[in-house]
């Protein structure tokens, strides 16, 4: 899809948000174009006009997310004021914030990967993950060239650790609350709490994975 996230109009973004919400709740196959139109408060024909099909609308959902990571990494690569590890820490914070703020989208990722039913959606997920990996490789290779990072780093496994850890926390929030006696904590406060805990945990872990420091 050639259109970038920054080129979507407010109306298109509203449709994308409505589609994302319903895809997360009912899955791609369980959501109709009519459902999306109703959720967005528009005529069905508007979806066809803006996106062409439900598949293209799902593609727009994924494109919006892919562009965010690519732009974030490109900006970090150009930042000469941060060390390689500091850049990775910024990326970790961004991932944690993104996952917590966009839990609907990540439910889509989890749901569609588990059922492995729709080849078009599976391809979109694969392409999104690949583009993100390719962007992050540049950041890791920069640190390796400067001697800050170890040479033999399995970047796919490293990112699986990042994404898997945050995903597991999001899907088991009730369990985490109970195990840490946080049942009475208000939801907004709890979201800030797990964001801080995840960020610190992952930064410590990635320091061990990436650097020569003990």
Q: Domain ranges for the chain, please list them.
A: 55-210
Give pLDDT, residue 161.
92
Residues near 8 by Cβ (< 8 Å), separated by ≥ 6?
A: 16, 60, 64
Number of helices and strands in the chain (H, E): 10, 0
pLDDT band per the 50, 70, 90 thresholds, residue 113: low
Looking up tokens 């997360």 gives: 24
48-93 tens-digit pLDDT:
999 988 888 888 887 777 677 778 888 888 899 999 999 999 999 9
Q: Which residues contact 128 (CB under 8 A, 6 or more apart)?
A: 62, 65, 66
Tell me if residue 102 falls in helix, strand or coil. coil
Phi, psi of 51 (to 5 degrees): -125, -25
Residue 3 confidence (pLDDT):
43
Query: Tokens 């919006």 — which residue?
Result: 64
Q: Does residue 84 contact residue 143 with C-beta atoms inside 8 Å? A: yes
Percent of the chain with pLDDT over 70: 86
Predicted TM-score of the model (pTM): 0.73
3-class SS of residue 106: helix
55-210 topology per CATH: Tetracycline Repressor; domain 2 (1.10.357)
Q: Are the beta carbons of 19 and 59 closer than 8 angstroms? A: no
Distances, alpha carbon 183 to alpha carbons 91, 97, 188, in Å: 30, 22, 13
Which residue, among 212, 214, 209, has the nearest Cα to 89 in the 3D structure? 209
First to last CA, the chain: 44
């Amino acid at each position: 899809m050639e259109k970038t996230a920054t080129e979507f109009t407010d109306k298109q973004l509203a449709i994308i948000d409505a589609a994302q919400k319903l895809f997360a709740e009912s899955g791609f196959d369980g959501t109709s174009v009519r459902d999306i139109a109703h959720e967005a408060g528009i005529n069905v024909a508007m979806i066809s006009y803006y996106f062409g099909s439900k598949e293209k609308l799902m593609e727009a959902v994924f494109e919006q997310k892919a562009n965010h990571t690519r732009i974030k990494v490109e900006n970090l690569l150009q930042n000469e004021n941060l060390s390689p590890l500091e850049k990775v820490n910024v990326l970790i914070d961004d991932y944690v914030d993104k996952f917590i703020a966009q839990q609907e989208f990540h439910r889509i990722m989890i749901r569609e990967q588990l059922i492995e039913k729709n080849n078009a959606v599976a391809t979109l997920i694969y392409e999104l993950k690949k583009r993100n990996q390719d962007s992050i490789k540049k950041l890791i290779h920069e640190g390796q060239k400067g001697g800050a990072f170890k040479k033999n780093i399995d970047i796919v496994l490293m990112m699986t650790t990042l994404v898997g850890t945050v995903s597991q926390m999001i899907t088991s929030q009730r369990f985490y609350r109970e195990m840490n006696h946080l049942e009475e904590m208000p939801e907004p406060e709890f979201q800030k709490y797990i964001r801080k805990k995840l960020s610190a945990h992952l930064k410590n872990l990635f320091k061990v994975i990436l650097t020569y420091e003990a």
